[in-house]
Amino acid sequence: MKGSFLDQIETKVKPTIPVVAVVGTGVIGRSWVQVFARAGCETRLYDPDAAQIDKALMWLDQELDTHGRALVRAYPDLEEALAGAGYVQESGPEQIELKKAIYARLDDAATPATILGSSTSAHDMSEIAAGLPGANRCIVAHPVNPPHLIPVVEILPGVKTDPDVVTRTREFMTSVGQKPVLMNYYVPAFLLNRMQAALLKEAISLVESGVADVDSVDTVIREGLGLRWALMGPFGVANTNADGGIREYFTRYGQAYKDCMNELGPTPSFDPEMIERLGQGTDAMTGNASLQEICEWRERLIRKIRNLKAEDPHPS
């Protein structure tokens, strides 16, 4: 979508870091390029696979307006791409040994003030940057796919990361229109995927045990909890569920929640039969639409929801 709505709504401030590099331009990397370029950053791309660069540039041709597209340039050489960049968004494959090797190279090539952010979904920066001279400027900046549409970014320092790097990364992410959230220390799967796993665990258990079918479980989220969740998280919702706010709500219903939490379902097996059963359930919900049509509809509506939220923000 050229001249993206986010140009007007989200990025009223100038980026705090004007030149950035995206290293690895697959699904996540190319989406990051859009985030940075539409915010006005000079954005350098590097990927060892030239076909991935071509694919990313073709996609960006469609997505960015002329101004944003002019800020994007691909480099065949990593060192050249990093020269002058104040922030790097590493978005290479999710394998720990590869991440370590990429980071060793980034740390070697980038000037000491450059922040080295990683899109990793699972790894601890303390491990990726262990032993590197520049471990103090390495940090996880984990997006949700795709970051050009979904703004939250989980910011997670390693044990050696400078507090100043945490501050600068958060400021930079805010200045390009993202919503950084800070984690104080590493836990597997970070925040978003942990909460997603907790909900999926129960959703699958309810279907597996025959309490309800796939459509019923999805409808409860889609036409119930999910409508509020686009506006408030679980604590914000709890705060609006009683006249006296969250204190009254949890005082009155805390025991009921405890009883329920104590009997939640087991960890699912993910065996082929179970997956097939869930597949048949989602096929029925998909109807005649193609998966691509559904994804395009999802993207259209996420943009509209974000516009609505920007037009009528939380009254805080």
d(CA 139, CA 115): 8
Question: Cβ of residue 148: shortest distance to ligand NAD, in angstroms?
Answer: 12
Instruction: Report whether 84 contacts 19 (CB < 8 A).
Output: yes
Site for ligand NAD in 112-141 (CB under 6 A): 119-121
Query: If binding means CB under 6 A, how many residues of this protein chain bind ligand NAD?
Result: 22
Residue of the chain from 3, 49, 67, 70 that contacts ligand NAD (CB under 6 A) = 49
Residue 141: strand pairing partners:
155
- Judged by beta carbon, residue 153 or residue 206, the one nearer ligand NAD is 153
Stretch that binds ligand NAD, among 58-66, 89-97, 251-259, 277-285 (CB under 6 A): 89-97
Nearest-angstrom CA–CA distance, 260 and 177 = 39
Instruction: Cis check for the bond before 15: say yes or no (omega within 30 of 0).
Output: no
52 near ligand NAD, judged by CB under 6 A: yes
Query: Chain centroid to CA 285: how far?
Result: 26
Using the rule CB under 6 A, is 89 a contact of ligand NAD?
A: no
| Under rule CB under 6 A, residue 241 binds ligand NAD | no
Rounded to a whole number of angstroms, the minimum distance from the CB of residue 85 to ligand NAD is 14
Closest distance of CB 118 from ligand NAD, Å: 7
Binds ligand NAD by CB under 6 A, chosen from 11, 91, 114, 174:
91
**Least Å distance between CB 229 and ligand NAD?**
19
Sole residue written with tokens 């944003």: 68
193 C-beta neighbours (distance < 10 Å), count: 16
Q: Kindly state the smallest distance separating residue 156's Cβ from ligand NAD, in Å.
A: 12
Q: Provide the mask over 139-178, with x wherever binding to ligand NAD is found by CB under 6 A and - wherever it is not.
A: ---xx-x---------------------------------
Q: Nearest residue to ligand NAD, using CB?
A: 26
Three-class DSSP category at 84: coil
Q: Are 303 and 148 in contact (CB under 8 A)?
A: no
d(CA 11, CA 179): 12
3 within 8 A of 65, measured Cβ to Cβ: yes
Q: Is position 26 an interface residue for ligand NAD (rule: CB under 6 A)?
A: yes
CB nearer to ligand NAD: give 7 or 47: 47
CA 43 centroid distance within chain: 19
Q: Are strands 138-143 and 152-157 parallel, antiparallel or unpaired?
A: antiparallel
Within 8 A by CB and 6+ apart from 146, the residues are 27, 28, 31
Stretch that binds ligand NAD, among 45-53, 219-227, 232-240, 274-282 (CB under 6 A): 45-53
Q: Which is nearer to ligand NAD, 25 or 174 (CB)?
A: 25
Task: Give the whole-angstrom CA distance, residue 209 versus residue 94.
Answer: 34
Q: How many CA atoms lie within 13 A of 22 on its CB side?
A: 29
Work out how close the CB of 31 gets to ligand NAD at its nearest, in angstroms, rounded to a whole number: 8
- The residue ranges that bind ligand NAD (CB under 6 A) are 23-29, 47-49, 52, 91-94, 102, 119-121, 142-143, 145
